[in-house]
């Protein structure tokens, strides 16, 4: 039986469609109506507003409305009755729309993917399919298309997604799910890793693995030159002093005391240690041209051009920083745990880890692999069961052993270091201890800004332009982007 739902316009009008975000308007409407159907706001058999009414409610075109309704009919959530209107299908979704597959989307070439694939293959309750999208257009694809059941974001992407109101509306708030499952190990997750997943008081994402950045060093080179190993007392001047002493060059080969990595998750660490920021805390102004930032960037670049104790950035075009360190020709580097994947501390390369040197303050960069769930997921219970499985001790141990990342469950990390001491260097705990003074080094609001800064700074790393003039130019361009973007920035990334 089909019944008519008259009082619907008021409910729908509470959710707005944004015309300034990259998610197509028909996709936004599709997810609003689909979410209302799945949540029970629209009962089975009830009518939804007409296309004309939806146009008036949301201020959008009839073509946009019909595109959204067409997709919902294909999905089996709506049915069109000629001459009467469009209705919610008169059946139980949990029976005829039973979930047989969970779709998980991740970044192509992410270190964690192979390990995740094996974990998914071992999960027997439902089939889990892993889709990989290149980093360069990852968020764009997610915005433009229907979201997968689960998708993974890196540190920068998470900040961008949660600070965009339209994107936030497309994902589940996880407060009730984490509290409903009394066995979910919420209290065991490192609190520092979960803070960026909150918007105000509400949890929208969960970290499944993390890393900080520490100073890795070649013990063999230190022993050869009879130099003491790095420790927590080191400051910038000591890092430079030792890097110069470790550097050796001849016609056949070169040995460098330090490796400058121009990645956006390396040099901003120095800016933060020097008391500066790249973007203001509220996300409204670029501060890369302030003296603290300029001093830090120049100090980093001088390792290459002034003191010549680091190879040029061109050496990283066909090799990762971890691969370069593994050659044994690099004395020290700022590295994450992922960069060291597959490099065991053995006789061929004796290496260890120390805290990063400090300046005005201690600081390290936090990297997380974050899990988000679509608001229009086919079956919430089935999807949440799999998401919870990723936080089991068994899976967290696999991530710690085979992905290059640290598990987020604290007791699993402790057990790993005790059970498999041969797999980790002596002071690997430095990565954990860095949690006391770590956070994402730069809270960028968009991937566009990240690319802009990386591209413009390349002339500094190549010694083709002075630091100050380059930073002034970057600040001007970034501030233009920031002035155009409307975000819910102040609420994002901290539990209030």
Q: What is the CATH number of the domain that holds 425?
A: 3.40.190.10
Give pLDDT, residue 360.
97
Q: Which two tokens stand for residue 376?
A: 């229009």
pLDDT reading at 1 higher than 50: no
Q: Are residues 159 and 53 in the same domain?
A: no
Backbone φ and ψ for 111, nearest 5 degrees, come out as: -60, -30
Q: Are residues 70 and 116 in the same domain?
A: no
pLDDT reading at 478 higher than 80: yes
Residue 370 banded pLDDT, cuts 50, 70, 90 = very high
Q: Are residues 426 and 457 in the same domain?
A: no
Q: Taking all residues of the chain, what is their mean pLDDT, rounded to a whole number? A: 88
Give pLDDT, residue 290.
97
Q: Are residues 217 and 304 in the same domain?
A: yes
| Best CA proximity match to 293, nearest among 281, 278, 280 | 278
Distant-in-sequence contacts of 344-348, Cβ < 8 A, 24+ apart: 344/422, 344/423, 345/424, 345/425, 345/426
| Cα 244 from Cα 295, distance rounded (Å) | 19
Q: Are residues 257 and 146 in the same domain?
A: no
Q: Are residues 466 and 418 in the same domain?
A: no
In-domain check, residue 3: no
Q: Tell me the HSE value of 104 on the side-chain side, using a 13 A CA sphere.
A: 22
| Best CA proximity match to 154, nearest among 190, 101, 208 | 208
Give pLDDT, residue 21.
58
Q: Are residues 206 and 347 in the same domain?
A: no
> What is the sign, positive or negative, of the torsion defined by CA atoms of 198, 199, 204, 205?
negative
Q: Are residues 86 and 64 in the same domain?
A: yes
In-domain check, residue 475: yes
Query: How big is the chain, counted in residues?
Result: 496
| Tokens 């080094």 belong to residue | 441
Give pLDDT, residue 10.
41
| Cα 354 from Cα 405, distance rounded (Å) | 17
Give pLDDT, residue 320.
84
* Strand 198-200, strand 494-495: pairing: parallel
Q: Are residues 385 and 347 in the same domain?
A: no
pLDDT reading at 5 higher than 60: no
Residue where one domain finishes, among candidates 422, 439, 456: 439
In-domain check, residue 260: yes
- As for how many domains the chain has, the answer is 3
Give pLDDT, residue 13.
43
| Cα 33 from Cα 54, distance rounded (Å) | 10
Q: Are residues 227 and 346 in the same domain?
A: yes
| 51: CATH | 1.10.10.10
Mean pLDDT of 294-304: 98
Q: Are residues 233 and 157 in the same domain?
A: no
Residue range 398-414, pLDDT digits in tens? 999 999 999 999 999 99
In-domain check, residue 375: yes
Beta strands in 292-439 (DSSP E): 332-336, 351-354, 364-365, 367-373, 406-407, 438-439
pLDDT reading at 338 higher than 70: yes
Give pLDDT, residue 172.
96
Least confident of 189-198, 290-299, 407-416, 441-450: 441-450
Q: Are residues 117 and 256 in the same domain?
A: no
In-domain check, residue 21: yes
Residue range 306-336, pLDDT digits in tens? 999 999 998 887 778 888 999 999 999 999 9
In-domain check, residue 1: no
| Cα 195 from Cα 393, distance rounded (Å) | 21
| Cα 464 from Cα 8, distance rounded (Å) | 62
Residue where one domain finishes, among candidates 439, 457, 477: 439
Give pLDDT, residue 6.
34
| Cα 67 from Cα 29, distance rounded (Å) | 9
Q: Which two tokens stand for residue 56?
A: 């008036």
What domain range is 28 assigned to? 9-95
Do residues 209 and 406 make contact, with C-beta atoms less than 8 angstroms apart?
Answer: yes
Residue where one domain finishes, among candidates 78, 95, 112: 95
In-domain check, residue 153: yes
Do residues 271 and 297 make contact, with C-beta atoms less than 8 angstroms apart?
Answer: yes
Q: How many CB atoms lie within 10 A of CB 84?
A: 10
Least confident of 86-100, 129-143, 191-205: 86-100
Residue range 38-97, pLDDT digits in tens? 667 788 888 999 999 999 888 889 999 998 898 888 877 888 888 888 998 875 544 444
Give pLDDT, residue 433.
96
In-domain check, residue 146: yes
């Amino acid at each position: 039986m089909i019944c008519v739902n008259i009082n619907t316009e008021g409910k729908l009008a509470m959710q707005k469609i944004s015309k300034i975000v990259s998610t197509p308007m028909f996709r936004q409407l599709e997810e609003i109506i689909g979410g209302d159907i799945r949540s029970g706001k629209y009962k089975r058999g009830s009518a939804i507003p007409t296309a004309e009414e939806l146009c008036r409610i949301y201020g959008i075109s009839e073509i946009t409305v019909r595109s959204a309704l067409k997709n919902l009919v294909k999905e089996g959530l709506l049915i069109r009755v000629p001459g009467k209107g469009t209705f919610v299908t008169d059946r139980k979704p949990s029976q005829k729309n039973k979930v047989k597959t969970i779709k998980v989307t991740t970044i192509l070439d992410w270190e964690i993917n192979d390990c995740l694939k094996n974990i998914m293959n071992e999960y027997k309750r439902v089939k889990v399919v892993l889709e990989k999208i290149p980093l360069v257009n990852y968020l764009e694809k997610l915005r433009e298309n229907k979201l997968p059941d689960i998708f993974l974001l890196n540190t920068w992407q998470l900040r961008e997604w949660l600070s965009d109101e339209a994107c936030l509306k497309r994902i589940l708030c996880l407060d009730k799910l984490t509290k409903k499952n009394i066995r979910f190990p919420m209290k065991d997750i490192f609190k520092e890793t979960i803070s960026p997943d909150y918007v105000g008081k509400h949890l929208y994402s969960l970290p499944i693995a993390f890393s900080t950045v520490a100073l890795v060093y070649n013990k063999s080179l230190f022993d050869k030159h009879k130099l003491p190993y790095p420790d927590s007392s080191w400051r910038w001047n000591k890092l430079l002093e030792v890097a110069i002493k470790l550097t050796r060059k001849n016609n056949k080969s070169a040995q460098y005391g330090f490796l400058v990595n121009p990645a956006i998750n390396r040099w901003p660490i120095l800016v933060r240690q020097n008391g500066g920021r790249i973007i203001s805390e509220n996300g409204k102004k670029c501060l890369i041209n302030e003296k603290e930032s300029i001093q830090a960037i120049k100090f980093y670049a001088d390792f290459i051009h002034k003191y010549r104790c680091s190879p040029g950035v061109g050496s990283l075009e066909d090799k990762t920083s971890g691969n370069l360190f593994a050659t044994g020709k690099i004395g020290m580097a700022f590295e994450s745990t992922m960069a060291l994947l597959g490099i065991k501390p053995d006789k061929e390369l004796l290496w260890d880890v120390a805290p990063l040197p400090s300046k005005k303050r201690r600081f390290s960069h936090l990297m997380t692999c974050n899990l988000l769930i679509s608001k229009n997921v086919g079956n919430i219970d089935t999807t949440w069961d799999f998401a919870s499985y990723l936080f089991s001790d068994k899976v967290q141990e696999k991530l710690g052993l085979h992905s290059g990342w640290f598990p987020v469950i604290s007791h699993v990390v402790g057990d790993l270091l005790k059970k498999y001491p041969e797999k980790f260097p002596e002071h690997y705990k430095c990565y954990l201890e860095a949690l006391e003074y770590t956070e994402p080094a730069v809270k960028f609001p968009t991937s566009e800004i990240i690319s802009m800064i990386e591209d413009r700074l390349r002339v500094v790393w190549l010694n083709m332009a002075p630091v100050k003039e380059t930073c002034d130019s970057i600040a001007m361009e970034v501030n233009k982007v920031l002035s155009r973007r409307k975000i819910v920035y102040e609420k994002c990334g901290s539990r209030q």
